[in-house]
Structure 1
Amino acid sequence: MISPESLQLGMMLAETGMLEHAVTEVMAKPQLLVMTEASPNAKASVKRHVRKWRHSVKRRLSNDCITEELKQEIQAYQDAVAMSQQAFRDNAKSLMKSLEGKSSFYLKARRMIEKNIAQETPMFQAYFCNKWYQHLAGAIQAAQEKELEAHKEKLLKELYQRMETYRELEDVQEHGDAEKTGRLWDLASSKVTQSDVALLKRFVAFLKDNQDLQDIAETLGRMANDVDDPSLQRSPAEELQMVEEPADNVADDIVGIHQSDHLEKLVPNEAIYLAEPALEILFYKHFADKRLLTYRMQGMQRSLRKVKAFKPESKQVDIEKGPFLICVDASGSMSGFPEQCAKAMAYALMQIAVKEDRDCSVMIFSTDHIGYELTGEDGLKEALNFLSYSFHGGTDLEPVLTHSVDLMGTDKYRNADLVVISDFIAPEQPDEVKQKVDELKAQHNRFHAINLSKYGNPAVMSMFDHVWDYHPSLMGRLLKRF
């Protein structure tokens, strides 16, 4: 098992300038510069994407790039450092043998041991371990650089793909208003064809011509802000409190080893350099460069600081909004104009969800139900699959409603909105489903019905908090462009 000191070595190297250099190199690519200078919205999205990548890669560089063989060599190094001088002389050749075929340090180690072990030089162990440490540091850094280069190439490929899709989607949005229609960059991870772009443009135009649908979507999206529950506050008020927090200047516990110039925390093996005049200069050099191996100390100290605290009396807070769960009736009776309305409404809610950093998923149902994650990593691809789906079959509301109610009872769906879009030509739901819906309403979840028919069953719609009727006359439909 790799020791804490060895992990600290990996962390120390990961925090060098490698990552910063990689980020600077990526952001200086001509293709990215041209795009980000032309579009401020795109520039902010690219920077956010690269920051997220940097954080993810830093964790991987600290751990993943250290192979099993390198871990074993690090463990052998730690064993050598901890040995007494006599034990080191007795085991030096077996240590050297353990490196054969596994480490590029083997030949150098063998020459050093064969030349010096018989002379019983007092400082040889410290000198040998110092050379071994330098080799390990170089090996870890080389592994990290190789791993970082692979991650950087993958990042550039993803950025170029998103740029291509982003340009295709810019024309879809009204007046290029990214705030109104959602962050395009977050949906641009998949390739789009000209037919995909044409399909999205059709629904943007449909929403523009059916403004009432857009108004319903925006009204529905604002309801999550009206919940008065302190546990849902994202930005609670601040107040001063006495808190305990970790501090490096409080020497309660030893938590690892790092390089510094703190003589009072010196690892005993480092003092071996001072016992031999020929090697004493190395000690002072490491001290001047702040490269002495010293214990990393940490403890808890009390301090007065501002902390986040929930205050129910405060109304001007940012509420944590739950996901949208949209159930769309895909029966044959919904084909034609109702089908276009249902898809356009789901698309409008997806745009609101992306803008407000909310999850959004759609389940289409007839005799069975199919799910689409519209704001996931492949959200654009999922949205296009949903918008391309042809409605047919019968209406069976109970299975999808039961499944949706079960989902709404999980922690992920706190302060969430369930939206059922249908003609509601369906039988009344069982009392068990109605009871679960009532219980979830008391927990700040909302249930909405968008009725696209004049013949919907009132008994079914009575279980919802809000019901919107949208079924323009035949003449009104003929005047719409689609």
Structure 2
Amino acid sequence: MTNQEYIDNRLATYNEAFDFYMDCGEMPKSIEKGDILGAYLKSVIDSNPQLDSQDPLWMEVLKDDLLAFLSAMLSAFVPVEEAHKKEQAYIGRYKNADLDKQRELWPSVYEYVSKNYEPTDVNIAGYVEQFKENNVQDVIDALCEDWMKASDSRKDAREKKILEKNAQSWERHIKEWGLSDYKRRKKIDNTYYRYPALQEIVKIIGREQPQRKDEKDDITYKYIPILLSTPAKTVEIEQISIGDDVAHMMPIETAILSDQETETLFYKKFAGKQLQIFANRPPLKSQDKQIQQHQTKPRLEMGPIIVSIDTSGSMSGKPEEVAHSLLIQLLRLAKKKKRKCFVITFSVRSRALELTNPANWRKLNKFLEEGFSGGTDGEEMLNSALDALQKKDFCMADVLIISDFEFPLPKSTTKARMRAEHDKGTRFYGLQIGSWPNRYQSILDKMWKMKI
């Protein structure tokens, strides 16, 4: 596992621990005893008892800032953790070596322990004296055990010192800038609630209302027998046929036979088996008929979210604010329901940011600020979204495009890729901000239009 993967995993654990503690009033089992940052997270929440009674946005602001601080601390802890692992490995190698190797390494071990540990932590001189009276291997095992405990304690002490050194400045930052952060996010929320279309988008992508028929229905083919086999034994006369069975002749044939002028005609019809006779219906055979039926095609209850935001120059200003407010709500939804989230910005080129890990949440504002200039390349944006769908974590996602759609329809190859992903369960939506004529509603599952 790389250092970044370790940081991402720990940050995800602290993110869940924050929510768990707010809901249950205790830390989850994933936060082990002695976890320095887990204990600090708990102390921060305990220091803000008013969170439960305030606007939930305050808790969101505190949580995001706290996770950003913990991310920085985890990065600062990396050198300490690496040094600790290296030392633990060194202790293990010395303890498990044969006696000749232990004697060879002893001078360097003695020098290292004497230099880095106080006698109250590892009394190396005392162990030297014990060599005179006790079994050498027993003394070395006891030394290594004390040394490992002292190594753990030294790591914890170093990390606590780093945390204490930075915690005060972070807490001052929260007091000074927390209100500004809250007001900025409140403004974003107000923009969102001003437009009903944005709320409808979140409901549909959040799967909080029944899916529309045209989003779910799939045509299936069902084969059913249209005729059932009849019993072999039957005496019921059901139809008129032709043949030479005089026992079942129709009265008209009897009349022909009784008239001398038509008698010859009768025999001719009899010889040719052309007499009209009563007959039973032939046994019915099972046949298959193919019929079309509409059957609901189930979708994932919760799936990933891919948001593509047009950051060309034509989207700057009010459209940018609307796009940002909708994105924040979708990210909030993804956090709440633990759904994967992927953001793509596009203008002359596309850029992507995966928000699966909490470590990337704080990068979002800077990521968006680098856009809103130049023209638009919708083709590259669509292919970036389609490429993201190939990842295991983002297959069968909901894809939302936020743009003024001042770009042509995709190429036929791109349309074919979209259809293939749609067949797998992906749904494509669009929010057009502006009044530019576009035909994307013909290839998207649903298009919302807003005039700002």
The normalised TM-score by structure 1 is 0.53
Local SS of the residue matching 1:364: strand
Offset at residue 107 of structure 1 (A): 4.3
Is the aligned partner of 1:362 residue 2:343? yes
Residues 260-409 of structure 1: pairs in structure 2 closer than 5 A: 319-322=301-304, 324-373=305-354, 376-385=357-366, 388=369, 391-409=372-390
Is the aligned partner of 1:221 residue 2:206? yes
Is the aligned partner of 1:34 residue 2:42? no
Residues 25-424 of structure 1: pairs in structure 2 closer than 5 A: 26=40, 29=43, 32-35=45-48, 37-40=49-52, 66=84, 68=86, 71-79=89-97, 96-97=106-107, 99-104=109-114, 107-113=125-131, 115=132, 124-125=134-135, 128-154=136-162, 194=180, 197-222=182-207, 319-322=301-304, 324-373=305-354, 376-385=357-366, 388=369, 391-424=372-405
Alignment check: 8 A CA contact 1:417 1:446 kept: yes
Residue by residue over 1:23-70, the C-alpha shift from the partner in whole angstroms, topping out at 9 and shown as x without a partner, is 8964785x65331x2224859979x98xx99xx99xx9xx85656566
Local SS of the residue matching 2:111: coil
Distance 1:368 1:376, change over 3 A: same
Structure 2: which amino acid aligns with 1:209? R
Alignment check: 8 A CA contact 1:325 1:417 kept: yes
Local SS of the residue matching 1:222: coil
Distance 1:74 1:170, change over 3 A: closer
5+ residue gaps, structure 2: 1-31, 115-122, 217-296
Offset at residue 339 of structure 1 (A): 3.2
Alignment check: 8 A CA contact 1:426 1:456 kept: no
Offset at residue 21 of structure 1 (A): 8.6
The answer for the alignment partner of 1:462 in structure 2 is 442
1:340 and 1:28 map into 2 onto residues whose CA distance is 35
Offset at residue 129 of structure 1 (A): 2.8
The answer for the alignment partner of 1:429 in structure 2 is 410
Is 213-222 or 139-148 further displaced after alignment? 213-222
Distance 1:45 1:397, change over 3 A: closer
1:24 and 1:333 map into 2 onto residues whose CA distance is 45
2:310 and 2:37 map into 1 onto residues whose CA distance is 47
The answer for the alignment partner of 1:174 in structure 2 is none
Local SS of the residue matching 1:39: helix
Offset at residue 352 of structure 1 (A): 1.4
Residue by residue over 1:414-434, the C-alpha shift from the partner in whole angstroms, topping out at 9 and shown as x without a partner, is 231211112222222111111
Local SS of the residue matching 1:367: coil
1:33 and 1:427 map into 2 onto residues whose CA distance is 55
2:173 and 2:301 map into 1 onto residues whose CA distance is 32
Alignment check: 8 A CA contact 1:325 1:360 kept: yes
Structure 2: which amino acid aligns with 1:403? S
Corresponding residue pairs, total: 318
1:398 and 1:70 map into 2 onto residues whose CA distance is 53
The answer for the alignment partner of 2:270 in structure 1 is none
1:21 and 1:328 map into 2 onto residues whose CA distance is 39
Local SS of the residue matching 1:361: strand
Offset at residue 437 of structure 1 (A): 0.8
Distance 1:216 1:164, change over 3 A: farther
Local SS of the residue matching 1:442: helix
1:93 and 1:439 map into 2 onto residues whose CA distance is 68
Offset at residue 157 of structure 1 (A): 6.9
Overall identity of the aligned pairs, in %? 20
What is the aligned-residue RMSD (CA, Å)? 4.6
Structure 2: which amino acid aligns with 1:410? K
1:453 and 1:24 map into 2 onto residues whose CA distance is 47
Q: Which has the larger radius of gyration?
A: 2
Distance 1:364 1:161, change over 3 A: farther
Local SS of the residue matching 2:406: coil
Alignment check: 8 A CA contact 1:100 1:106 kept: yes
The answer for the alignment partner of 1:451 in structure 2 is 432
Offset at residue 164 of structure 1 (A): 6.6
Alignment check: 8 A CA contact 2:342 2:356 kept: yes
Local SS of the residue matching 2:339: coil
Residue by residue over 1:372-414, the C-alpha shift from the partner in whole angstroms, topping out at 9 and shown as x without a partner, is 4556445554333356567332222111111211111211202
1:154 and 1:316 map into 2 onto residues whose CA distance is 51
Distance 1:75 1:25, change over 3 A: same
Residue by residue over 1:155-194, the C-alpha shift from the partner in whole angstroms, topping out at 9 and shown as x without a partner, is 56777777677778986xxxxxxxxxxxxxxxxxxxxxx3
Structure 1: which amino acid aligns with 2:448? W
2:416 and 2:396 map into 1 onto residues whose CA distance is 18
Structure 1: which amino acid aligns with 2:189? V
1:204 and 1:24 map into 2 onto residues whose CA distance is 30
Local SS of the residue matching 2:308: strand
5+ residue gaps, structure 1: 1-17, 117-123, 172-193, 229-314, 472-476, 478-482
1:430 and 1:316 map into 2 onto residues whose CA distance is 29
Offset at residue 102 of structure 1 (A): 3.6
1:454 and 1:143 map into 2 onto residues whose CA distance is 66
Distance 1:142 1:159, change over 3 A: same
1:24 and 1:353 map into 2 onto residues whose CA distance is 23
Alignment check: 8 A CA contact 2:127 2:143 kept: no
Alignment check: 8 A CA contact 1:451 1:469 kept: yes
1:440 and 1:198 map into 2 onto residues whose CA distance is 40
Distance 1:371 1:164, change over 3 A: farther
1:24 and 1:336 map into 2 onto residues whose CA distance is 41
2:93 and 2:422 map into 1 onto residues whose CA distance is 58
Residue by residue over 1:343-378, the C-alpha shift from the partner in whole angstroms, topping out at 9 and shown as x without a partner, is 222222122122222233332222222334556445
Local SS of the residue matching 1:455: coil
